Amino acid sequence: MDVTRAFVERGDLAHLALFLWASGASGLLLMVLKEFAAQTRRFDAFVGEIARLNHRLNDESGTSTTASK
Protein backbone atom coordinates (compact mmCIF):
# COMPACT_ATOMS: atom_id res chain seq x y z
CA MET A 1 0.00 0.00 0.00
CA ASP A 2 1.39 3.39 -0.98
CA VAL A 3 -0.17 5.17 1.98
CA THR A 4 1.35 2.74 4.49
CA ARG A 5 4.74 2.98 2.77
CA ALA A 6 4.61 6.79 2.95
CA PHE A 7 3.91 6.65 6.68
CA VAL A 8 6.71 4.12 7.25
CA GLU A 9 9.25 6.16 5.27
CA ARG A 10 8.45 9.31 7.21
CA GLY A 11 8.45 7.52 10.55
CA ASP A 12 4.84 8.34 11.32
CA LEU A 13 3.75 4.88 12.43
CA ALA A 14 2.22 6.34 15.58
CA HIS A 15 0.03 8.62 13.48
CA LEU A 16 -1.00 5.69 11.28
CA ALA A 17 -1.88 3.62 14.34
CA LEU A 18 -3.85 6.52 15.82
CA PHE A 19 -5.72 7.03 12.55
CA LEU A 20 -6.60 3.33 12.35
CA TRP A 21 -7.75 3.30 15.98
CA ALA A 22 -9.86 6.43 15.50
CA SER A 23 -11.39 5.06 12.31
CA GLY A 24 -12.26 1.79 14.03
CA ALA A 25 -13.72 3.56 17.06
CA SER A 26 -15.78 5.88 14.86
CA GLY A 27 -17.08 2.95 12.83
CA LEU A 28 -18.03 1.11 16.00
CA LEU A 29 -19.80 4.20 17.35
CA LEU A 30 -21.82 4.54 14.15
CA MET A 31 -22.80 0.87 14.33
CA VAL A 32 -23.88 1.23 17.98
CA LEU A 33 -25.91 4.37 17.22
CA LYS A 34 -27.63 2.60 14.32
CA GLU A 35 -28.54 -0.33 16.56
CA PHE A 36 -29.75 2.03 19.29
CA ALA A 37 -32.04 3.79 16.82
CA ALA A 38 -33.44 0.43 15.68
CA GLN A 39 -33.98 -0.62 19.31
CA THR A 40 -35.80 2.64 20.01
CA ARG A 41 -38.11 2.06 17.03
CA ARG A 42 -38.86 -1.49 18.20
CA PHE A 43 -39.58 -0.29 21.75
CA ASP A 44 -41.84 2.44 20.39
CA ALA A 45 -43.77 -0.13 18.37
CA PHE A 46 -44.04 -2.36 21.46
CA VAL A 47 -45.41 0.47 23.61
CA GLY A 48 -47.87 1.38 20.84
CA GLU A 49 -49.12 -2.20 20.69
CA ILE A 50 -49.56 -2.32 24.47
CA ALA A 51 -51.54 0.94 24.35
CA ARG A 52 -53.69 -0.42 21.52
CA LEU A 53 -54.30 -3.64 23.46
CA ASN A 54 -55.26 -1.72 26.62
CA HIS A 55 -57.63 0.48 24.65
CA ARG A 56 -59.21 -2.56 23.01
CA LEU A 57 -59.61 -4.41 26.32
CA ASN A 58 -61.15 -1.34 27.97
CA ASP A 59 -63.65 -0.97 25.10
CA GLU A 60 -64.67 -4.65 25.34
CA SER A 61 -65.24 -4.53 29.09
CA GLY A 62 -67.40 -1.42 28.83
CA THR A 63 -65.16 0.69 31.04
CA SER A 64 -63.71 3.98 30.02
CA THR A 65 -60.33 5.39 30.88
CA THR A 66 -61.81 8.90 31.17
CA ALA A 67 -63.63 9.96 34.31
CA SER A 68 -67.35 10.36 33.75
CA LYS A 69 -69.23 13.04 35.66
Q: Name which residue leads in pLDDT, 55 or 10.
A: 55
- On average, the pLDDT of the chain sits at 87
Over residues 38-62, the pLDDT tens digits come to: 999 999 999 999 999 999 999 988 7
Per-residue pLDDT, averaged over 21-37, amounts to: 98
pTM assigned to the model: 0.59
b/e sequence 6-20, b meaning 16+ C-beta within 10 Å: ebeeeeeeeeeeeee
Per-residue pLDDT at 67 exceeds 80: no
Span 33-39, average pLDDT:
98
